[in-house]
Amino acid sequence: MYVGRIARSARDAVLVACSAVALAGIAAGAVRVLPWLLDPQVPWRVAAPFARGLVAVAIEAALLIGWPVGWAIACLQFVESGEARVHQTLGEQPLGTVGRLAGQGALLAAALASVALSYGRDAGAPGRVATELLAEARASCLVASTPTTYAIPFTDLTWLCSPGREPLLVGSPTPALHAAVISAKGARIAGDFRALELDDARGLLAGPPPIAFHVASLSTHGMAPWAHASTGAAALRALILASTAFAAASLAAYAVLRHAVRTRIGVLVIGAQGPLAALGLMRLLERLDARPSAFLLVPAVCGACTLATAALLVGWRRLRGRDRAAST
């Protein structure tokens, strides 16, 4: 009975936490793509490549953060109800209670790994998604019945569309050329999003005097840093994320059962701290173009942050207890 109750409580808490994180992630990321989704003149196929990646990364983050938070909340509920103490007096240690959630954890780890694998292709080559976005927007330009424009999210490029005329791509391809106005009839973005190739490019460089140019092909480098590709293979990234979430959830649940946390806010902190630290470390390693083996540190760092957070919360509670005792 107890095992079933804690498993059901953990399942329900994980679903609520994951849903909340996913909705927040989608809402935050949709700011860029929302004008496309709401514009009746923009076909769904134009916005679909970017929307697909947006949903995938939101679900990935939701599982990574919501799973540990959900388990921590469920364990706190059992501590508050007194059932955890009863079963501990009967000989079941907190580690054994957490072990009873291993089956559910295996399913959640498999789900997270599957999402990470599906998103891994785009994470390893974000330029592929941007190129697909450019191609779909150009195709929509060709069939536009009225003059319109399609701005490419996260770039300074825009398709100018006019019935009966070939689409024209205009803008500043890289920060280094922010003062230049360049137009082209086609474009391809490198898989790692660090280079852009323009077809039939024309431009005007500001300066004394201004310089106009026209080339059949123009290659530029130095795209926006937000789009740097993941340096690890998709399978490795999926394994790291799954193991990181499993470690964070197990350690957070164990800490709550050991009475390291006694408040709702504390549960949220101990459940989310490790995964957030893991995401930050992964982002840092990707920016530094670290070797794939360096990413193996992510689960260990996540676990260490979770344990350190538990220790800090215990220390803070004891310090407050001493202050109250001294005041009385």
Query: Look-up: residue for tokens 């106009």?
Result: 212
pLDDT digits over 176-215, tens only? 666 677 888 888 887 666 778 889 988 887 777 888 888 8
Task: Please indicate whether residue 211 or residue 167 has the higher confidence score (pLDDT).
Answer: 167
Residues 6+ apart with CB under 8 A from 44: none
Lowest mean pLDDT among 18-27, 69-78, 111-120: 111-120
DSSP 96-164: HHHHTTHHHHHHHHHHHHHHHHHHHHHHH-HHHHHHHHHHHHHHHHHT-SS-EEEEPTTSSEEEEE-TT
Task: Please indicate whether residue 124 or residue 75 has the higher confidence score (pLDDT).
Answer: 75
Section 65-75 average pLDDT? 95
Preceding amide of 209 cis, omega within 30: yes
> By CB neighbour count within 10 A (0-12 exposed, 13-18 middle, 19+ buried), where does 176 fall?
exposed
Q: Are 221 and 174 in contact (CB under 8 A)?
A: yes
Lowest mean pLDDT among 205-209, 269-273, 276-280, 311-315: 205-209
Query: Which among 83, 109, 111 has a CA at the least distance from the CA of 97?
Result: 83
Is pLDDT above 90 for 84?
no
Is pLDDT above 50 for 48?
yes
Question: How many Cβ atoms are within 10 Å of 165's Cβ, its own excluded?
Answer: 12
Query: Which of the 8 DSSP states describes residue 228?
Result: P
Is pLDDT above 60 for 321?
yes
Q: What is the pTM of this model?
A: 0.71
The predicted pLDDT at position 135 comes to: 83
Confidence of residue 152 (pLDDT cuts 50, 70, 90): confident
Angle between helices 2-38 and 44-81 (to 10 degrees): 150
Mean pLDDT comparison of 148-157, 197-206, 238-247, 254-263, highest-scoring range: 238-247
Decide the pairing of beta strands 186-189 and 195-205: antiparallel
Residue 154's identity, in one-letter code, is F
Query: Which of the 8 DSSP states describes residue 172?
Result: -
Rg, C-alpha atoms of the chain: 25
Section 259-283 average pLDDT? 90
Q: Give the dihedral sign, CA 72/75/79/85.
A: negative
Is pLDDT above 70 for 265?
yes
Query: Look-up: residue for tokens 């431009």?
Result: 203
Lowest mean pLDDT among 205-209, 264-268, 293-297: 205-209
Task: Please indicate whether residue 123 or residue 239 has the higher confidence score (pLDDT).
Answer: 239
% of the chain beyond a pLDDT of 70: 80
Is pLDDT above 60 for 227?
no
Confidence of residue 226 (pLDDT cuts 50, 70, 90): very low
pLDDT digits over 230-245, tens only? 556 778 888 999 999 9
Confidence of residue 1 (pLDDT cuts 50, 70, 90): very low
For 88, what's the count of Cα atoms within 13 Å in the CB-facing half-sphere? 14
